[in-house]
């Protein structure tokens, strides 16, 4: 199954305060899924897990750069 990436343009009409709220909600939801389904995830497709890990690492780097100017 192919997942269609969401475009940043989807948030063109949303102010920064609500974008940050969405980020916080997505982060909490992701954490909850990973935390509660950890053992199930370990048996899933390795390629998909690697892709997810790489995408999350990229998000972490983007946040580090926008907040602290590092990268």
CA distance 9 to 37: 31
Is 2's pLDDT higher than 90? no
In 10-57, which ranges are E strands? none
The pLDDT, as a whole number, for residue 35 is 97
pLDDT band at 71 (very low <50, low <70, confident <90, very high): confident
**pLDDT tens across 15-52, in order?**
999 999 999 999 999 999 999 999 999 999 999 999 99
Of 59, 41, 43, 64, nearest to 5 by C-alpha is 59
Is 1's pLDDT higher than 90? no
pTM for this prediction = 0.87
């Amino acid at each position: 199954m192919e997942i269609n990436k969401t475009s940043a343009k989807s948030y063109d009409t949303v102010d920064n305060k609500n974008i940050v709220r969405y980020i916080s909600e997505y982060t909490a939801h992701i954490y909850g899924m990973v935390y509660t389904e950890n053992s199930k995830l370990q048996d899933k497709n390795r390629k998909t897990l690697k892709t997810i890990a790489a995408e999350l690492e990229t998000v972490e780097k983007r946040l580090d750069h926008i907040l602290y100017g590092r990268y």
